[in-house]
Amino acid sequence: MFRRAFSIYDYDPENDVVDILYKVVGKGTRLLSKIQANNILDVLGPIGNGFPLPGKDDRSVLIAGGVGVPPLYLLAKQCCTGGFDPQRLTFLCGLTSESEIPMVARVKTLPISFYLSTDDGSAGFHGFVTSLFEQKLADGDIRDDYVIYTCGPEPMLAVVQQLARKHNKRCYLSLESVMPCGVGTCLGCVVKKAGENKYLRVCREGPVFDSQEVEL
List contacts with other proteins (CB under 8 A). Answer: 1-3, 42, 44, 177-178, 180-192, 197-199
CA distance 66 to 68: 5
Least distance (Å) between residue 163 CB and other proteins: 23
Least distance (Å) between residue 179 CB and other proteins: 9
Name the residue nearer to other proteins (CB basis): 35 or 178: 178
Name the residue nearer to other proteins (CB basis): 11 or 199: 199
Name the residue nearer to other proteins (CB basis): 30 or 166: 30
Least distance (Å) between residue 202 CB and other proteins: 9
Residues ≥6 apart with Cβ < 8 Å to 120: 96, 97, 126
Name the residue nearer to other proteins (CB basis): 127 or 184: 184
Residues ≥6 apart with Cβ < 8 Å to 38: none
Least distance (Å) between residue 184 CB and other proteins: 5
Radius of gyration in angstroms for the set of CA atoms belonging to the chain, rounded to a whole number: 17
Which of 99, 97, 100 minimizes the C-alpha distance to 69?
Answer: 100
Amino acid at 60: S
What strand order describes the sheet that includes 190-193? 199-201, 190-193, 214-215
